Structure 1
Amino acid sequence: MGVSDQAWTVETVLEELRTGGSEANRSGMARFGIETSKAFGVPLSVLRPLARRIRQSPERLPGLAQDLWESGWHEARLLAILLTPHRSLSPELALSWLNDIESWDLCDQLTNVLARRAGSNELVAALVADEREFVRRAGFALIAWRAVHAKSAPNSEFIEDLDLIEHFADDERNFVWKAVHWALRQIGKRSADLHQPALALAEALSASEDKTARKVGRAAARELTSEKVLARLRKPIEE
């Protein structure tokens, strides 16, 4: 990729992306269920270093992240997320961007940043109640990421999230049920105290009359009872 770092504008970034994209990567994205009608075919392994170069450049124009988002190009939107620190990702901005999202990877990258922001759990209930597939996914992805990143969050937050998981476990849409399952697994792996209630829900869902809920429950129970997870949860106690 050969564009100079002297002046990062939306135009120079898009040219960089055009140069770095490939039809092979676009095809790979499509195989993973990513909409590619407006994609260059640039992998994250290239986008992350590019984001670091742009962040470090003194010639980055103000508002570049928003301009990249508004361009509508898939990789430009991923860069917009990578260029936005969690302290700058206000709930209003996150919700505005979520309204445009029609791809699981954008959804997951955005919620990964949002989960690091204090108070982002307050968005969960509204997101999961939204009927739009990727907005609902965002709610459960946010739960999953907070289980990883929100180190000081109380257990009570995630116990409440289990009620949402139980309620929406029958949403059969591919990108929703996978996020529900992800959220349940991450809660159960967060701590020994949360493991038992998460596993209890997984086992209850495994016995559900609804096939999607059963799928969610069985997949979560399988991981939460694995020796790898159980050993990691025992480790702090033994030390």
Structure 2
Amino acid sequence: MTDPLSPASTAAEILAHLHTLASEEKRQGMQRFGIRIERSLGIPHGPQRDIARKIKRNHERAFELWESGIVEAQFIACSTVDPKRFSIDDARAWAETFDSWDVVDGVTSLFVDTDHWQPLIAEFAADEREFVRRAAFAMIAWASVHRKKEPDATFEAFLPLIEAHAGDPRNFVKKAVNWALREIGKRRMALHGPALATAEKLAASPDKTARWIGKDAVRELTNPKTLERLARRS
């Protein structure tokens, strides 16, 4: 049989190998972090990353892994799919299955590497489903970190979207909105001021959720260590 950890391995062989790594103890432990475990084998991210590195990129096989429905296989699919060939309709189809914050955060790291990441943010933010809306703000956060060449104006333009959805009280939305705001503010000094102004405005809001988002973001964006890191980047 082909080595399941080689570039020549098939999706079926990779899935069989994943099952040999399954851990019921780790699977149950994931629930403490608010992760849904119905589709999980209980394999930590480290071994998943090792597998992705060994099997390398294969666009078609990545879709087979995704369609298995196994969370770990889906994470590996995200790491081995070709972002240049990943269409906006592919992203929409994968988003349709979102049911846990960890899946959202893993997949959106891929989405921001595609050419249609900005239209997807607007589309997903307008979606009322909790995990799809979370995807929009997770994408803003990931893009703030990963898209180094993107102009600051792109990220400043996301601040009104953050403000518009800061009142969504659902746990996995509000945490992603907060994450997005903090990452914009930490991207570069030129963005720190606008992000902090938005955070301060939200911190003074009569809305409980918006106030929590704002106060938490203000705390991080005014932290001396955050300001030190920003100064070094300037």
* Aligned counterpart in structure 1 of residue 177 of structure 2, from 180, 183, 186: 180
Question: Which residue number corresponds to residue 17 of structure 1?
Answer: 18
1:81-103 Cα offsets, whole Å, 9 max, x none, are: 11113223322211111111111
TM-score by length of 2: 0.93
Q: Superposition RMSD on alpha carbons, in Å? A: 1.8
Contiguous gaps of at least 5 residues in structure 2 = none
Instruction: Tell me which stretches of 4 or more aligned residues in structure 1 moved more than 4 Å.
Output: 2-7
Provide the secondary structure at the position in 2 that maps to 1:170: coil
1:76-128 Cα offsets, whole Å, 9 max, x none, are: 11111111132233222111111111111111111112212344122211110
Correspondence list, 1:1-239, <5 A: 4-5=4-5, 8-55=9-56, 63-237=60-234
Which whole-Å CA distance do the structure 1 matches of 2:98 and 2:74 have between them? 9
Provide the secondary structure at the position in 2 that maps to 1:63: helix
TM-score by length of 1: 0.91
1:161-199 Cα offsets, whole Å, 9 max, x none, are: 100000100111111000000000010011111100100
Q: Is the 8 A contact 2:174 2:209 kept in 1?
A: yes
Q: Is the 8 A contact 2:166 2:209 kept in 1?
A: yes
* C-alpha deviation, 1:131, in angstroms: 0.4
Paired positions, count:
232
Which whole-Å CA distance do the structure 2 matches of 1:66 and 1:204 have between them? 43
Give the 3 Å change call, closer, same or farther, for CA 144–4 of structure 1 in structure 2.
closer
Identity %: 46
1:203-223 Cα offsets, whole Å, 9 max, x none, are: 111111111101100110000
Contiguous gaps of at least 5 residues in structure 1 = none
Which whole-Å CA distance do the structure 2 matches of 1:179 and 1:5 have between them? 34
Which whole-Å CA distance do the structure 2 matches of 1:111 and 1:160 have between them? 19
